Amino acid sequence: MLTAALVIVCFALVLYSYLFYPIVLSIWASLARMSADLRYVAGKEDRRARATNPLPSVAILIAARDEEGCIRDRLVNLLSLDYPADRLHVYVGSDGSSDGTADIIAAFDDDRVTAVAFPINRGKASVLNDLAERVTADVVVFSDANTLFRPDALLRLVAPFTDPGVGGVCGELRLKKSAGANEDGAYWRYEQFLKFQEARIGALLGANGAIYAIRRDAWQPLAVDTICDDFTIAMRIPATGRRLVYQPDAIAEELSPPNIRDEYRRRVRIGIGNFQCLWRYPEYVASTSLATCFAYVSHKVLRWITPHLLLVGLIGSALLGLESAGWRAFALLQCAGYLAAGLVCALESRSAKLPSVFRLAAFFVALNWAFLVASFRYATGRYSGGWQRTSR
């Protein structure tokens, strides 16, 4: 009886996180929006636009390693943004690059660019720490070497800082399809929907490393082995009492990874960073608002432990199947589903043309396998804060 209850709870938590949490979240967000509208009608909320001039001074930080194929275009993109030239500065650091990245940034002829070539590869967190020490601007923007901002992205990204209660702003990353793009795009749209709803209840979780900003006085140096630097930096904002807001019209673009195999290693690394944050920063639960705590547990923590819940559910089903034909059939059905998804992953990695529903199911299994591997690597200390290149 206890085993059956455990199996049911495991699968119920997975269903809640992926299916019922978005429904509950949408209802909460709708009520929050209705409440805000009523306050406005009652005259208790001021929605007038605040003055945006003078615009804050902005420092954009880029940590790069072996990015000679895109770093020049990236710098040209940043310097051509619709933002006053005298209020924009770019700091770009090459972290022991073995290609021509350091030479390209050193040769870039523009006073708005500070290029720093670190001779030894120490990891992204160390580069960001060193670059941040040089910043004197009001707002610090973080991005990646392979990202491109739309011309008005920076103007829109800094706009919420006119509210003194805002400590950080997350923009929106749009994934552009590459040849044979995997289902990360579909999953990403699902995540963007959750982010939009979470922002409505004041529970935005972290930021996307491609485009986000914080006030300079909110910066805290990172531990040198930090993996998910974007999540860590952004989550410190609500943990210290300031608001982290979502600005979906501040848009950056990247190419989506070509297939599941190319995405897998990135997901393992992100998974390790997730578990690192879970155990290293309990304040993300203890020191944030009720809404943020609710979203963090429902959207993040339960997702990270989904493979463990599924594994316990499978083992429990198999044990119950020793005495029950129904449970035995359920266990066999799970095994068949995982084997089928593994086959689809293998076919998809060879660029086979498959229906989207099969690819999405395979992506779900591959994602959770990556999280399972990541949990064991984190628990055994088999990771570092160094770089790992992927196609995205």
pLDDT of residue 150: 96
Task: Indicate the Cα dihedral angle 130, 228, 266, 18, nearest 10°.
Answer: -160
State the average pLDDT for the chain.
89
Residue 32: count other Cβ atoms within 10 Å of its Cβ. Answer: 16
pLDDT of residue 184: 58
Give, in words, the CATH class of 58-300. Answer: alpha beta
Domain boundaries, the chain: 58-300, 302-379
What is the Cβ-side half-sphere exposure of residue 344, based on CA atoms within 13 angstroms?
A: 21
Enclosing H/E stretch for 95: strand 88-95
pLDDT in tens, 150-205: 999 999 999 999 999 999 999 999 887 655 455 556 777 888 899 999 999 999 99
Q: What is the pTM of this model?
A: 0.88
Share of the chain above pLDDT 90, in %: 72
Enclosing H/E stretch for 215: strand 212-215
Report the distance separating Cα 10 and Cα 14, nearest Å.
Answer: 7
pLDDT of residue 197: 95
Predicted confidence band of residue 52 (pLDDT cuts 50, 70, 90): low
- Collapsed DSSP state (helix, strand, coil) of residue 219: coil
Token pair for 314: 């499978």
Report the distance separating Cα 273 and Cα 264, nearest Å.
Answer: 14
- Collapsed DSSP state (helix, strand, coil) of residue 114: strand
The length of the chain is 392
Report the distance separating Cα 342 and Cα 364, nearest Å.
Answer: 11
Q: Which residue has the higher pLDDT, 97 or 262?
A: 97
Q: Which position has the token pair 């995982």?
A: 338
Enclosing H/E stretch for 368: helix 356-379
Judge whether residue 257 has pLDDT over 80: no
Token pair for 305: 């432990």
pLDDT in tens, 329-349: 999 999 998 898 888 877 776
Judge whether residue 239 has pLDDT over 70: yes
| Alpha-carbon distance values, 284 to 242, 280, 287, 303, 328 (Å) | 13, 10, 6, 16, 40
Beta bridge partners of 339: none
Report the distance separating Cα 287 and Cα 276, nearest Å.
Answer: 18
CB 327, CB 320: distance < 8 Å: yes
Order the strands of the 243-255 sheet from edge to edge.
113-118, 88-95, 58-64, 139-143, 212-215, 166-176, 243-255, 148-149
**Cα angle 171-175-178, degrees, rounded to a multiple of 5:** 160
Paired sense of beta strands 212-215 and 166-176, if any: antiparallel
What is the Cβ-side half-sphere exposure of residue 338, based on CA atoms within 13 angstroms?
A: 12
Q: Which position has the token pair 């770089």?
A: 387
pLDDT of residue 11: 97
